[in-house]
Amino acid sequence: MKLYTSKMLDISIEDMQGQPFIKEVWSGVLTEKIFKRLIYDSIEVYEKYLPNILNRQETLLMYANVSGITMIRNEEIEWLEKEINPIYERLGFTHQAVVMPSSFFASQAVLNYEGVSESGKFITNVFKDELSAIRWYFKKINKALQ
């Protein structure tokens, strides 16, 4: 189900094995102004739609395919970690799987995004391909259910 569509960002709710997750597909050159506007737009979307999803599950994945972006700076990655990840955590996200950009410069910045929030409740991992990202999350879920 599509939740948001723009020239540089599409957001949808996807389902795999009965487990809903959020999918973001990013593309283009992300200037600081455009990137931050899109992030704040996405937060508004999540505030509206996530309560319905979270009633049914304990973990929630944000799958972010950023393979189509050609530029993002380290400053935006640092901003995400400090300012936005705590908001994602508050909204109910527990995991974030990021598919790396094909652009060398953008991929170097995105590699710095991996890590665990201060509370330990929000985990971000970066992957080279979509299949690895999805497998990682479902391996985590299966361990949690056992």
For range 1-15, the mean pLDDT: 95
Q: How far is the CA of 113 from the CAs of 15, 27, 34, 52, 77, in angstroms?
A: 25, 18, 19, 28, 6
Q: Is the pLDDT of residue 143 over 70?
A: no
Distance CA 110, CA 100 (A): 7
Q: Dihedral through CA 84, CA 58, CA 96, CA 21, nearest 10? A: -110
In terms of Cα–Cα distance, which of 43, 66, 63 is closest to 140?
63
**Position 146 pLDDT exceeds 50:** no
Closest CA to 106 of 77, 64, 81, 78: 77
pLDDT tens-digit map of 67-126:
999 888 899 999 999 999 999 999 999 999 999 998 888 888 898 898 898 888 899 999
CATH code linked to domain 2-145: 3.40.50.10600
Residue 26 DSSP one-character state:
E
Q: How far apart are CA 142 and CA 144, in angstroms?
A: 5
Threshold 0.85, pTM exceeds: yes
Query: Looking at residues 16-39, what average pLDDT do you find?
Result: 91
Provide the mean pLDDT of the chain.
89
Phi and psi (nearest 5°) for 21? Answer: -150, 160
pLDDT in tens, 60-69: 899 999 999 9
The partner residues of 68 in beta bridges, in order of sequence, read 27
Statement: residue 41 has pLDDT above 70: yes
Which helix (H) or strand (E) is 123 found in, with range?
strand 123-127
Which tops the pLDDT comparison, 60 or 52?
A: 60
Would you kindly state where each structural domain of the chain is located, as residue ranges? 2-145
Identity of the residue numbered 63 = Y
